[in-house]
Amino acid sequence: MRRLGELEAEIMHRLWAWGRPATARDVLTDINKQRPLAYSTVKTVADILHGKGMLKRHKEGRAWVYEPTCTRQQYTAALMQEALGSNPDPAGTLVSFLEQMTPEETDALRSALRTVKRRSEA
């Protein structure tokens, strides 16, 4: 899975945060609260995300309605897996990553490891 470009990420972050399908016009209206952008730009990037398999879409009237095909967590996990899988020293990469974590992130990791352990024992 490729890392998202800047506008791709903006669109995906909104759709993930909203937790509902939305049109390119919905996304544009929200983005325009912070910076001006053309409808055609947002529509084109949404279509690119659809082509990459990041968004599914269906027609409502004349508009396409977009929805993520994965959660933010699944996307992030795929990026992490790709980084580990393409590295000749995954253990070293993990050590470097862990050294950069905050105490809160370390607690979250411990909790996640406990959850995975419980699931595998069940």
Classify residue 23 by its DSSP letter: E
Looking at this protein, which amino acid is placed at residue 9? A
pLDDT for residue 70: 97
Q: If we measure between CA atoms, which residue out of 106, 80, 75 comes closest to residue 12?
A: 75
pLDDT for residue 23: 98
Q: What is the rounded distance in angstroms from the CA atom of residue 42 to the CA atom of residue 14?
A: 12
CB-CB neighbours of 20 under 10 Å: 9
> What tokens appear for 104 in the block?
């809160």
Reduce the DSSP state of residue 57 to 3 states and report it. strand
Per-residue pLDDT of the chain (122 residues; tens, 9 = 90+): 788 999 999 999 999 999 999 999 999 999 999 999 999 999 999 999 999 999 999 999 999 999 999 999 999 999 989 888 888 998 898 899 999 999 999 999 999 999 999 999 98
Total-model pTM: 0.82
Contact partners, residue 56, CB within 8 Å, separation at least 6: 50, 66, 67, 68, 69
Reduce the DSSP state of residue 58 to 3 states and report it. strand
pLDDT for residue 78: 93
pLDDT for residue 83: 85
